[in-house]
Amino acid sequence: MRIIGYILAIVSGLFFGLNVSPTTYITQHLDKFPGAKKNGLNYVFAHFTGILLTSFFYYVLYIIGKRNKPHLDVQSVLPAFISGIMWGIAQAALIFANAILGQAIAFPLVSVGPAVVAGLWSILYIKDICGLRNYLIFAVGTVVRAVACVLIALSDA
């Protein structure tokens, strides 16, 4: 199971890394795409529609695989919907930032926030990170991330 988890994490990371590549490529190579705009928000609707259709396709496959008896935890529907809205806003912001700053600058800046928030959730709410040593590791990692963000921002100035 651990090997399967590693493989799925790698595949997930690849998909996450390639997620905004088409929109970024278009906004950075306008000469190859006549009529294309620099504003990354012009591509959000098409991007989200593709994600919706792909999700629908995989959900239909799941329903077929379960012989029309899918498992649905009703209590998870509202939190899933809210987290999807939050993800959509963040994704649109990432596409917008990539169009303005470029992927090499925007992606590291945008990826720091969720990691820090996830760590804080793990410490304050879930409590799966505990102990002085782990708190110090998290604090040092957060400071290193903050310094890296400042250096990245200054490198573009």
How many domains does the structure of the chain reveal? Answer: 2
Listing DSSP states for 4-28 in one string gives HHHHHHHHHHHHHHHTTHHHHHHHH
106 and 95, same structural domain?
A: no
86 and 25, same structural domain?
A: yes
108 and 62, same structural domain?
A: no
Decide: 92 and 41 in contact? Cβ < 8 Å. Answer: yes
123 and 51, same structural domain?
A: no
Model pTM?
A: 0.72
d(CA 124, CA 21): 34
Residuewise pLDDT in 10s, the chain (157 residues): 999 999 999 999 898 878 888 888 888 889 999 999 888 888 899 889 988 999 999 999 999 999 999 998 999 999 999 998 998 998 898 888 888 888 788 888 888 888 899 999 999 999 999 999 999 999 999 999 999 989 988 886 5
What was the pLDDT predicted at 23? 85
Tokens (6 digits) for 45: 């609707």
80 and 65, same structural domain?
A: yes
Q: In terms of residue numbers, what domain contains 119?
A: 102-157
39 and 18, same structural domain?
A: yes
